[in-house]
Amino acid sequence: MTVIVRRIASSLVMLFAVSALSFAVLELAPGDFFAEMQADARVGSQTVQGLRAQYGLTQSPVVRYWQWLRSFVQGDLGFSLAQRAPVSSVIWARAGNTLLLTIPAMLVTWCLAVPLGVWIARYRNRWIDRVSSGLTSTLVAMPDLLVALLLLLLALRTGLFPTGGMHSPGADELGLWARLLDLGTHAFLPLLALIATTLPSVVRHVRASVIEAAEAPAVQAARGYGIARSRITSRYVLPLAANPLVSLAGLSIATLLSASLLIEVVMSWPGLGPLLVEALLAKDVHVVLSASMLASGLLVIGNLAADLTLYAIDPRIRV
C-alpha cells in the first residue's frame, strides 16, 4: 500500500516539475505574442504595452507561473491569444480527435501484435522468423513521415479513400450511421499509417519476451510432461512474458497524445498536431504549454498504470 502511495506522490511531483520546466522554457523565449505587432508602424508601443498589461504579461514570471498553475489545477487552461478563446475550448476537442485515432490504433496494434509475436516466436530461427525480423526492422527504421506520405500518395492515386479532414462536406445532414461511416472512411488512412508505424516494434517486443519466457525452466518442464503446446503457450509462456509487455503497454498509453502528431499534420487530421504547429508559429504560449502538460500527464499516468498493474499481477515485485 505504501508503495502505491509513494509511487503516486512521486508522479505528482514529476508533473509539477514538468510544468515548471515547460513554463521556464517558454519564459526564456525572446519575444511574446505581441512582439510581432510592434513591427507594424501603425501600432504604437503604448498600445502594445497596454495589451500586455491587459493580458497580465507585465507581471513577474513567478507570479504568472503561480497564477497559471493555480488555474490549471482547477481545470482552467488559460487563454489562447491567437484563437481569442479559452484554451480548454480549443484543446479538448482537438485532443478528442487525436484520441479518436490513437485509441483504436492502439487496440488494433495490440490485438494483432500479440498473436503475431507468439506465432513468429514459435518459428524461431526458421525462415518465417528471418523474413519477419527483416521486415519489422526495416519498418521500425522507416520514418513516420515517409509512411504517412506514401499512404497519402496511394490514397490520392487510387482515390479509394478521402484525404484530409474528418468529414465530407455536408456530413452534418446525414443520419447517425451514415455519419459514422463517413468518419470511419476519413479515419482509415491515418489509422493505417499509425498502425503501420507502431505495430512492428510491438511485434518485436512480443517475440523477444515470448522467446525468453519459453526458455524458462518451468516451461521446459511443462514441455517435458507432454502438455499440449497451445496450453503451454496460454498457461505458462504468456503469463511469464507479460511482465515486460505490461510496461510496454503502459508506454503505449503514454504516447496516446503524441504518437500521431506528425501523421495528423501530413494527413490534415484536426487533432493536436496541426494545432500545436499553428500555436508554435504564433507563439501562443498557453496552447503549447497545455498540450505538453496533457501529453506528459498521460505519460506519467501510463507509467503509473503499468507499474500498478505489474504490482498486481506479478508476485515477485511485491516481495
Partner 1 sequence: MRREGLIAGGLAGLHLLVLLAGFAAPYDPVEQTRTLPFAPPSRLHLIDADGAFHLRPFVYALAPDPDNFDSYIEDTAQRFPVQMMVAGSTYSLLPGVESRLHLFGVDAPARISLLGTDGFGRDVLSRLLHGGRISIGAGLLATLFALLVGIGFGTIAGFFGGRVDTAVMRLADLFMAVPWLYLLFAVRAALPLHLDTRATFLLLVAVLGIVGWARPARLIRGIVLSTRERTYVTAARGLGAQAPYLLRRHILPQTLGVVLTQAGLLVPQYILAEVTLSFLGLGVGEPTPSWGAMLGSLQQYSVLTSYWWMFTPAIALVVVALSYSALTSMVHERMRLAAS
Residues making contact with partner 1 (CB under 8 A): 14, 17-18, 21-22, 25-26, 28-31, 137-138, 140-143, 145-146, 149, 152-153, 156-157, 163, 254-255, 257-258, 261-262, 265-266, 276-277, 280-281, 283, 285, 288-289, 291-292, 295-296, 299-300
Contacts of 290 (CB under 8 A, 6+ apart): 72, 77, 78, 87, 88, 91
* H runs (alpha helix) in 123-224: 127-141, 144-158, 176-214, 217-224
Contacts of 63 (CB under 8 A, 6+ apart): none
Residue with cell 487496440: 107
Beta-ladder partners of 28: none
Q: Which is nearer to partner 1, 59 or 138 (CB)?
A: 138
Q: Which is nearer to partner 1, 246 or 254 (CB)?
A: 254
The overall longest dimension of the chain from CA atoms, in Å, is: 87
Q: C-beta of 309: minimal distance to partner 1 in Å?
A: 19
Q: Which is nearer to partner 1, 233 or 258 (CB)?
A: 258
> Which three cell numbers, joined as nine digits, stand for 157?
492515386
Q: Which is nearer to partner 1, 14 or 242 (CB)?
A: 14
Q: C-beta of 244: minimal distance to partner 1 in Å?
A: 18
Q: Which is nearer to partner 1, 108 or 145 (CB)?
A: 145
What span, in angstroms and rounded, lies between the C-alpha atoms of 35 and 52? 10
Beta-ladder partners of 265: none
Q: C-beta of 294: minimal distance to partner 1 in Å?
A: 9
What span, in angstroms and rounded, lies between the C-alpha atoms of 254 and 179? 30
Q: C-beta of 258: minimal distance to partner 1 in Å?
A: 4
Beta-ladder partners of 80: 85
Q: Of how many residues is the chain composed? A: 319
Q: Which is nearer to partner 1, 211 or 237 (CB)?
A: 211
Q: C-beta of 56: minimal distance to partner 1 in Å?
A: 19
Q: C-beta of 158: minimal distance to partner 1 in Å?
A: 11
